[in-house]
Amino acid sequence: MAKDNSFDIVSKVDLQEVSNAVNQAQREIDNRFDFKGSKSKIEYDGNQLMLYSDNDFKLKNVVEILEAKMIKRGINLKSLRYGKIEKAAGDTVKQKVELVQGLDKDLGKEIVKLVKESKVKVQASFQEDQVRVSGKNRDDLQEIIKIIKDREWDIPLQFSNLRTF
């Protein structure tokens, strides 16, 4: 008798790589001539980033440096959600950057709906912050992976825990 095969559709960011990228970006900011005497810095608490600088222009440069380091470390920039630029203490500006971890309910529902509309013989269900797809045929699962990959999403998606029996 055939057992079910399954995999999970997730959106995860490697937090250690984010930390490494932040450290490299901060080091570059500290050493760059155009940032001498600047109040530019990046704070990272394990969940979100806070960017600080003297003005909007310098903050934009901080973002560019950070994004370059993120790309080098293999972090998809779609994982970053930028807040508005706000005034901060002492004539500086700040900007919050959230890291997207997991699928929200709306995106989970959208993925489940897409899987069901595909008419492939699999089941999909939203569980906490991921979508579990299961089916009897491994080829069906690979077809679903292709359907998901072919679509443009707002956040990076990964496929994990591929279990075949």
pTM (predicted TM-score): 0.84
Tens digits of per-residue pLDDT, 111-127? 999 999 999 999 999 99
Residue 161: Cβ-neighbour burial (10 angstroms; 0-12, 13-18, 19+)? exposed
Same-domain status, 57 and 111: no
Residue 34: phi and psi, rounded to 5, are: -70, -5
Structural domain that includes position 134? 5-11+102-163
Same-domain status, 94 and 159: no
Tens digits of per-residue pLDDT, 31-69? 999 999 999 999 999 889 999 999 999 999 999 999 999
The count of structural domains within the chain is 2
Same-domain status, 83 and 115: no
Same-domain status, 94 and 132: no
Q: Calculate the alpha carbon distances from 97 to 85, 123, 141, 157 in Å.
A: 10, 35, 34, 19
Of 78, 99, 120, the residue that ends a domain is 99
Same-domain status, 78 and 137: no
